[in-house]
Amino acid sequence: MFHDGYYTYVDISFIFLYFFEQFFLLIILSTTGYDPRTVVGLFALAIITTASLQNRAYQSRIDAINEEVVDQDSIIQMMDEDNKEFQEVIENLENKLEKSSIEIKYLRSELFKEAKKNLKKKR
């Protein structure tokens, strides 16, 4: 529920602010002798100001999220590059292992041939 705590508190504060603005409008209209058009005009000004502040708060949130996305994209790109490098290293090691395996088989066969020759000589 609390996204980094701060943003949820900002949202809740705007909800309370809108509530108090409407509450005070009702109190002023019911208890004072002011011209209702003037009070409603001031109320509209207060609502527009509050809506602008809320819009700015949301824009700041969007900007922060966009920065995180850009940071994560660059991290993903770096990880992809590292992954490609690791794949190349693994392929290189697999090739070397295959060559070594072939060389070992060759050396075993040569060693086996030598051993056969030595056995024939001893008999």
**Residue at 43 is within a domain:** yes
Domain range for 75: 6-122
**Residue at 39 is within a domain:** yes
The rounded distance, in Å, linking the Cα atoms of 82 and 74 is 12
In the prediction, which pLDDT does 2 show? Answer: 43
User: pTM score, two decimals?
Assistant: 0.46
**Residue at 66 is within a domain:** yes
**Residue at 113 is within a domain:** yes
Task: Report how many domains make up the chain.
Answer: 1
**Residue at 1 is within a domain:** no
Residues 6+ positions from 39 with CB-CB distance below 8 Å: 25, 28, 29, 32
**Residue at 50 is within a domain:** yes
Which pLDDT tens digit goes with each residue over 57-66?
Answer: 788 778 888 8
Which pLDDT tens digit goes with each residue over 3-16?
Answer: 555 566 777 787 88
Which pLDDT tens digit goes with each residue over 13-65?
Answer: 878 888 888 888 778 777 877 777 877 888 888 888 888 888 887 887 788 88
Helix (H/G/I), strand (E/B), else coil: 32? coil
